[in-house]
Amino acid sequence: MKKILILFITLFISSCTINKVEKTHGVPYLNEKREKLYINKSNKNDILDLLGPPSTKGNFENDVWIYIERQKTVKKIYNLGQSKLVKNNVLILEINEMGLLAKKNFLDINEMNKIDFSDKSTVSQYEKNSFVYSFLSSMRQRLNDPLGKRKKAK
């Protein structure tokens, strides 16, 4: 019994580490890499070589490429493995029609906390008495009971 207990304690202690575990997602060192990009000088190929493919692309008047860097670390041992957000950086690049960098915007974790979001909510456009509601309800009922053998709810 003592051998099993010693083996269990040895395995438990050997799996502990002194170094903090950090999980990084996205493009590492985004803040340093963005300084190597120059407006009206860097093109799409330069951006792809430096940062790789973007996390998200958007097509508006200009192409919008979004790069994300997120880093989490584990808190102290007495918090039982809860993670803490260390970095949350976003780089937004606008590329003009000629393929050159037109604008760059960098947001870090402190600037993201300052962004105001709308408190308004969307109101549904249909009521229980509307045609759309009754049509969707009948379709749902037919999908759930295609042969019509279930008892109808009243």
Q: Total structural domains in the chain?
A: 1
Q: Is 144 helix (H, G, I), strand (E, B) or coil?
A: helix
In a domain, 68, yes or no: yes
In a domain, 141, yes or no: no
Nearest to 90 by CA among 72, 71, 109, 103: 109
Q: Are 85 and 109 spatial neighbours (Cβ–Cβ below 8 Å)?
A: yes
The predicted model scores a pTM of: 0.60
The 10s digit of each residue's pLDDT in 2-58 is: 778 787 777 666 666 566 667 888 888 888 998 999 999 999 999 999 999 998 888
In a domain, 132, yes or no: no
In a domain, 38, yes or no: yes
In a domain, 4, yes or no: no
Domain of 105 in residue numbering reads as 14-113
In a domain, 154, yes or no: no
- Which segments of the chain does DSSP mark as H helices, in order? 2-14, 30-34, 44-51, 109-113, 131-144
Q: Dihedral angle at the C-alpha atoms of 144, 146, 150, 153, nearest 10 degrees? A: 50
Q: What pLDDT does 35 receive?
A: 92
The 10s digit of each residue's pLDDT in 92-132 is: 999 988 889 999 999 888 776 666 767 777 776 656 667 77
In a domain, 60, yes or no: yes
In a domain, 145, yes or no: no
Across 63-89, average pLDDT: 80
